[in-house]
Amino acid sequence: MSENKNKIFFVMGVSGVGKSTVGELLGKELAIPYFDGDDFHSHENVEKMSKGEPLNDYDRLGWLKTLNKLAKDQLKDHSCVIVCSALKEKYRTILSDDIENNIKWIHLVGSFELISERMKQRSDHFMPTELLKSQFDILENPKKSINISIKLTPIEIVEAIRKELFDKSEFGLFGLGVMGKSLSRNLANKGFNISIFNRHVDGVEENIAVNFKNEYKELSTALPFDDMEGFVNSLQKPRKIMLMVNAGKITDMVIENIVPYLSAGDVLIDGGNSNYLKTKKRFFYLKSKNIHFIGAGVSGGEEGALTGPSIMPGGDKEVYKMVQPFLETIAAKDQNNLPCCNYIGKEGSGHFVKMVHNGIEYAEMQLLAEVYGIYSAMGNNPDEIADILESWQKTASSYLLDITNEILRKKEGDHWLVDKIMDKAGNKGTGNWATIATAQLGVPSTLIASALFARYTSFYKEDRVELHKKYREDTSKTKPNLLNNEVLKAYQFSRIINHYQGFKLISDASKAYKWELNLSEIARIWTNGCILKSTLMWELVETLKGTENLLMNKKIIQQIKELKPSITKVVSQCVLNELAIPCLSESINFFNSLTTANSTANLIQAQRDYFGAHTYQRIDDGSENFYHTNWK
């Protein structure tokens, strides 16, 4: 995928800039075929031109298609150079049809005065001034092109193109933390020429990029930097730079520092776990500076980033196309070998979807922790629990279940390592933001909130130890009486509710923000490369094609009905035996709430009207009028 394979170099520009000369020289320099577009006109066009009649756009259509076909044919075997003025965007659209990502536009640029001066000196290529003027009128500058001044000699021009194409990298990776390093190696493994950057901090972060490059063979052609200007200048324009830095103020600082070195049309990709509202702000801030911005959620952890993560990019669709070849090439592949990366939607939608991914992940992890708690309370050691969970893989296969098994089996000498780990769970912000989003958008994604709060409660370790003494030490411990199959079914029930709530949150946000997100496609992106990959997720790809409300789906209704007696039994048993199961418990409570046709919220409305005159609606008045009662 590096520049010297399968590329079409279109040398373009107004008449008289010397396209043919440069094109021919460039072909020789790169040792690839060279074609002059003018040689491919139809018989009718040649005749028309020989009569001195100008071609209209209709005449050009067939010709442009011919050149597009020529390019495609050449691409099968090798790169080539094609010369064509390609002044209008719509001409270039036809020329690049279906091969957008293989094309490099090389735009030869000169002023009207310079060109007409040169014309006058060239007797063999006379063109009236009027005609040259019209060429300038027609010209629409391409957004993505290598622009070279014709003040240089043809040999210098070819040298400049070569330099731009082959001494410069296609893609920049900024920030070499755990994720940044893995993504860099992934890009390099896929054959991309990359530049890598890590800041220099005396005595703390020194020569990170250079040392990293030297550590891995695949990085032999990578250009390492610890100065920002050198890094930016090492990239082909329009530059594509992926930021892998800490979300929050650091991201703002980095953007502030890098922008002065960028050029209009460059693309910044924020691959960190940024808050979607901040991504939106940054998007518009950078737009005001003519810099494109893609907020891309990246899931998969260290390993996924290296071998293929799930990527959720948001921003302008047109801009996404510029980075698509990179992101989709490094992404994981689904069961049909399609990349687990696709354009998500506008502004901060990519980071929103990643945030919900992480929220669902919080709840999935908490559910496994509760299952582990149940089996521990029933007297099983970690190996025995792993045996049980391994048997679950047939019906509930998932990445998180896999790693939980490995964790439970891990020993340190004669002891299970998990038993040595401090039970205070950290959080990095996304679960917190997902809970806040659920509150702000008025969508009850209650399992995400319960999982977040469970982590918060775990942090009160000292209080828990103290309160255990005060409340529990004198009580006799009883054990829940549950079959393996019942716990598995309860777990599956809660997972369905969790996924329902997560997709509901995305669906409602999509409506609120007018993002037009594709739920099924999001599920597909999550079927590999990310922490949420599971057979359930793969099933949901199909289910979500038919409905945005999972609980309305026939197959799910069938499943839930089969699973429900077990969740009911498991939760009641755990409550009776003093086990903390906030997520399992919330899943059945939420389900009972959502399937209650007539709830008790009428009493709450009456109370609000009683003390605050907030008014209420009536079930016997479909007009949605509001009523107030003097209740005394």
Could you say which residues in the range 152-191 bind a copy of itself, by CB under 8 A? 178
At which residue do the structure tokens 């990029």 appear?
209
d(CA 242, CA 299): 15
Binding mask 597-616 for a copy of itself (x = CB under 8 A): xxxxxxxxxxxx-xxxxx-x
Q: Does 555 bind a copy of itself (CB under 8 A)?
A: no
Strand, helix or coil for residue 34? strand
- Pair of tokens at residue 245: 């830095």
**Residue 139, Cβ density class (10 Å: 0-12 exposed, 13-18 middle, ≥19 buried):** middle
Q: How many chain residues interact with a copy of itself (CB under 8 A)?
A: 118
Closer residue to a copy of itself in complex, CB, 15/617: 617
Closer residue to a copy of itself in complex, CB, 31/619: 619
Region of residue 169 (left: phi > 0; alpha: psi -120 to 50; beta: else): beta
Nearest-approach distance from CB 463 to a copy of itself, in angstroms: 7
Q: Does 618 bind a copy of itself (CB under 8 A)?
A: yes
Q: How far is CA 467 from CA 231, 415, 462, 463, 597, in A?
A: 55, 28, 9, 6, 40
Taking CB under 8 A as the criterion, which residues in 470-489 touch a copy of itself? Answer: 470-472
Closer residue to a copy of itself in complex, CB, 77/423: 423
Q: Does 248 bind a copy of itself (CB under 8 A)?
A: no
Closer residue to a copy of itself in complex, CB, 396/418: 418
Taking CB under 8 A as the criterion, which residues in 347-366 touch a copy of itself? Answer: 365-366
Q: Does 459 bind a copy of itself (CB under 8 A)?
A: yes
Give the type of residue at 473: E
Helix axes 349-377, 582-594, angle to 10 degrees: 120
Q: Does 619 bind a copy of itself (CB under 8 A)?
A: yes
Q: Does 468 bind a copy of itself (CB under 8 A)?
A: yes
Region binding a copy of itself by CB under 8 A among candidate stretches 257-265, 464-472, 484-492, 514-522: 464-472
What does DSSP say about strands 103-109 and 34-36: parallel, antiparallel, or unpaired? unpaired
d(CA 617, CA 615): 7
Closer residue to a copy of itself in complex, CB, 225/375: 375
Nearest-approach distance from CB 405 to a copy of itself, in angstroms: 10
Binding mask 19-38 for a copy of itself (x = CB under 8 A): --------------------
d(CA 71, CA 80): 8
**Residue 158, Cβ density class (10 Å: 0-12 exposed, 13-18 middle, ≥19 buried):** buried
Q: From the list 80, 222, 386, 449, which residue makes contact with a copy of itself (rule: CB under 8 A)?
A: 449
Cβ count near 252 (within 10 Å)? 15
Q: Which residues contact 595 (CB under 8 A, 6 or more apart)?
A: none
Active site residue 361: yes
Q: Does 450 bind a copy of itself (CB under 8 A)?
A: yes
- Pair of tokens at residue 442: 């008025």
Q: From the list 111, 395, 440, 481, which residue makes contact with a copy of itself (rule: CB under 8 A)?
A: 440
Q: Does 307 bind a copy of itself (CB under 8 A)?
A: no
Nearest-approach distance from CB 196 to a copy of itself, in angstroms: 19
Residue of 328, 347, 361, 364 with catalytic role: 361
Nearest-approach distance from CB 309 to a copy of itself, in angstroms: 11
Give the type of residue at 494: S
Q: Does 561 bind a copy of itself (CB under 8 A)?
A: yes
Q: What is the DSSP letter of 164?
A: I
Q: How far is CA 143 from CA 64, 348, 383, in A?
A: 19, 23, 59
| Under 8 Å between Cβ of 92 and 142 | yes
Closer residue to a copy of itself in complex, CB, 156/419: 419
d(CA 278, CA 377): 43
Q: From the list 2, 20, 458, 535, which residue makes contact with a copy of itself (rule: CB under 8 A)?
A: 458
d(CA 372, CA 349): 34
Region binding a copy of itself by CB under 8 A among candidate stretches 31-39, 54-62, 479-487, 580-588: 580-588
Taking CB under 8 A as the criterion, which residues in 519-548 touch a copy of itself? Answer: 531
Region binding a copy of itself by CB under 8 A among candidate stretches 29-37, 307-315, 328-336, 461-469: 461-469
**H or E element: which one contains 281?**
helix 276-287
Closer residue to a copy of itself in complex, CB, 118/464: 464
Taking CB under 8 A as the criterion, which residues in 373-432 touch a copy of itself? Answer: 373, 376, 399-400, 403-404, 406-408, 410, 417-426, 428, 432
Q: Does 456 bind a copy of itself (CB under 8 A)?
A: yes
Q: Does 589 bind a copy of itself (CB under 8 A)?
A: yes
CA 104 to chain centre: 25
Residue of 7, 181, 354, 489 with catalytic role: 354
Q: Does 230 bind a copy of itself (CB under 8 A)?
A: no
Q: From the list 467, 484, 542, 545, which residue makes contact with a copy of itself (rule: CB under 8 A)?
A: 467
Q: Does 79 bind a copy of itself (CB under 8 A)?
A: no
Q: Which of 343, 318, 293, 346 is nearest to 515 (CA)?
A: 346
d(CA 563, CA 319): 45
Strands of the sheet containing 34-36, edge to edge, are: 34-36, 80-83, 8-12, 103-109, 146-149
Strand, helix or coil for residue 82? strand
At which residue do the structure tokens 């990293």 appear?
212
Q: From the list 4, 391, 478, 549, which residue makes contact with a copy of itself (rule: CB under 8 A)?
A: 549
Active site residue 354: yes
Nearest-approach distance from CB 422 to a copy of itself, in angstroms: 4
- Pair of tokens at residue 568: 């009911």
Q: Does 582 bind a copy of itself (CB under 8 A)?
A: yes
CA dihedral 501, 503, 508, 513 (to 10 degrees): 140
Q: Does 455 bind a copy of itself (CB under 8 A)?
A: yes
For the annotated catalytic residues, the residue numbers are 354, 361
